Amino acid sequence: MSAYRPLLRLLRHGTAAARVCRTVTTWSPVGAAFNAKVQRRLDLFQQNVGLFGVPELSSIEGFEVVQDRALQETEQLVEKACRCPPGVQTVEIFDKLSDSLCRVADMADFIKVAHPNPSYREAAERTCINIGTMVERLNTNVELCKSLKDLLDNKEIFAKLDPETRRVAELFMFDFEISGIHLDKKKRKEAVNLNVKLLDLSNQFLMSCHMPNRIEKRVLPEHIHQHFSKDGKYIQISGLHADAPDDLVREVAYKIFLYPNANVMHILEELLACRDKLARLVGYESYAHRALKGTMAKSPEAVMSFLQQITDKLSDRLRQDKDFEMMTEMKTKLNPRNSELMPWDHPYFSGVIRAERFNIEPSLYSPYFSLGACMEGLNGLFTQLYGVSLLAEQPSVGEVWSEDVRKLAVVHETEGLLGYIYCDFFYRPEKPPQDCHFTIRGGRQLDDGQYQLPMVVLMLNLPHPTQSAPTLLSPGMMENLFHEMGHAMHSMLGRTRYQHVTGTRCSTDFAEVPSILMEYFATDYRVISQFARHYQTGQPLPQSMVARLCESKKVCGAADTQLQVFYAILDQVYHGKPQNRSTTDIMIDMQKKYYGLPYVTNTAWQLRFSHLVGYGAKYYSYLMSRAVASMVWKQCFYKDPLNRETGERYRREMLAHGGGKEPMLMVEGMLQKRPSIEDFVNALVSDLDPDFETFIMDSEG
């Protein structure tokens, strides 16, 4: 019955939605919910249920309560695991142990970066540190490890376990091994200390990546002051301003934002040194070897082969397409006195060329991509592919951290409620600048036969609606929405037995496949035509505009891809064999070899490379996941992107398993073949091929 309550709530708020939108279009309930301003019911007698429905988190003090309860439950489960005879129950107890800690740590990990109240963020940060310390203690608990090792060593019992249980047991053992469980007591203690130090260094580096740099106003020409924020006699620069039309604004932002900071340089180099020391201590050749175990790529050597093959293919493409020459010509045309192409020019002039060649102006597209229309499109797509609907629910008092957060129930036509998605879509100063998703609670099978429903948060930075219009998305924003929703549905559609491998808790180079695949749906006219219509007139987005948008992405695509290869190779080199030179010297060398634009003196781009923390030695994953997604799209969905049978097979082969199945086996099951590195490279590069039908369509128009 609970699945019907959101519909009743929506009906009550229907008139408010209509008032705000002022449109001739009739929206579905989910579309209307996102095109309307939030109308919270004022109920003075409703109890505060706490963040995400956790009663204790109705106050800051509650973090310590839920933390202490999780730590107490952990002690009990450790004792139980150590007494348990080898069998499936061993793995179940380990997963309960993981779930108990993750439900607190994951929620705190989100709150510490997203909550508008600094006191909540600080309390969440303390909780993250305390839970992280406990995890490191558990990963070096010899007695706990022995209980799992007894199961893995008992070949007869282990062979009788189902494949997912065996894989989860092996993953837990891997966590022990990379923490140095096999070492003597002195070295184990050293491993724990290194892990604790790494946690602290990672947090310090992440915080520094987004900190603004400042310079005295008098140093900069007065006419560009307006482009930056001011702090007394200083100008603050908090980003690259890559889209600024003024060359000087981009140059100033690049040189000042990327100016080297000795303290941050030390933090990064200490972080890399600690990672290397820990990897070698626990028996790996390098941190990259440790990080890539269990991935699709398997080893740094395979990753470097993949990246080098892309580079070789792209070198021909760059000569053929003349990406950098085109950008130089455009810069010369717009600014004849300063025509040398520099790194701060690449994003801007590639965009200018796309817009000019294909008449791509975001303001022409955004009226067709109201947030409600896009959500309606996602709802329709999921219904057709999986039999799943998105239903807007009214959050309870205290359940969400900001008034503009929406809550979606994800409901399957036969399976019922699958989980919840919290949509934190609108810009707030304290939010991280990147669009991202967070797993708040993972799905798992409970002892009573019920299923623990997953909860995720999607975080975007969209503009707020105005008095006269709903939130209107640029094509890039629309794609980002589809991308992040791909992550969410990975969690919703998975039905793993264990939360340790639920949804996106899988190999990093596989985790991006479902989200990148959604980008292909977001640029296919057969999908877009189902929802993209003008918020005022109801007119559909013309097919020729969609075709031009898709083709425009291929302009300078080789240069864009080569830039990503450079980042990925830099990441590999940083995490490979230690080199007796600075991270800046390494970057200069890699930029010269793998990127077509020169290094700018007195800059240190690597100090803003926040992915070095979460994606250390794994930045290549974006490229490999894109290759897999491209192959899945072309082979399985391109012919009919709304085919229910294909959608069900995709869920069955790739989404349902989370990390409970070896990633390449999932890809092989979907493609009916095991792809090679060469297949991946060819898939990536072939995406840059022009579609001549677009040019025919434009000439006919």
Instruction: Examine the residue annotation and report whether 285 is marked as an active-site residue of this protein.
Output: no
Helix (H, G, I), strand (E, B) or coil at 67: helix
Alpha-carbon distance values, 239 to 211, 212, 222, 344, 345 (Å): 9, 7, 19, 12, 14
Nearest to 291 by CA among 682, 697, 644, 613: 613
Alpha-carbon distance values, 608 to 7, 20, 213, 572 (Å): 45, 40, 12, 17
609's tokens? 């490379």
Nearest to 349 by CA among 257, 245, 239: 245
CA 372 to CA 425: how far, in whole Å?
12
Nearest to 556 by CA among 367, 331, 317, 214: 317
Torsion of Cα atoms, 83 then 84 then 86 then 88, to 10°: -160
Please count the other Cβ atoms lying within 10 Å of the Cβ belonging to residue 185: 9
Q: β-pairing, 229-231 with 234-237?
A: antiparallel
Nearest to 248 by CA among 334, 357, 356: 334
In terms of phi and psi (left: phi > 0; alpha: psi -120 to 50; beta: otherwise), the region of 427 is beta
Beta bridge pairs of residue 407:
393, 422
Helix (H, G, I), strand (E, B) or coil at 419: strand
Helix (H, G, I), strand (E, B) or coil at 350: helix
Nearest to 633 by CA among 523, 531, 474: 523
Q: Which residue type is seen at 8?
A: L
CA 499 to CA 577: how far, in whole Å?
35
Q: Are 282 and 191 in contact (CB under 8 A)?
A: yes
Active-site hit among 484, 512, 519, 551: 484
231's tokens? 């702090």
CA 559 to CA 636: how far, in whole Å?
28
Sheet holding 213-216, edge to edge: 213-216, 234-237, 229-231
110's tokens? 């989100």
What H or E segment, with its residue span, contains residue 176? helix 163-178
Output the furthest CA–CA distance in the chain (Å, rounded): 78
Q: Are 343 and 600 in contact (CB under 8 A)?
A: yes
CA 306 to CA 677: how far, in whole Å?
6
Helix (H, G, I), strand (E, B) or coil at 231: strand
Could you write out the DSSP letters of every residue in 562-582? Answer: HHHHHHHHHHHHHTSS--SS-
User: Running DSSP on this structure, what letter comes out for residue 536?
Assistant: T
202's tokens? 């990672």
CA 244 to CA 250: how far, in whole Å?
6
HSE (CB half, 13 Å, CA atoms) of 122?
Answer: 5
CA 421 to CA 410: how far, in whole Å?
7
CA 662 to CA 163: how far, in whole Å?
10
The three state secondary structure string of 444-455 is EECCCCCEECCE
Helix (H, G, I), strand (E, B) or coil at 640: coil
CA dihedral for 381, 387, 392, 398, sign (positive or negative): negative
Positions annotated as catalytic residues are 484
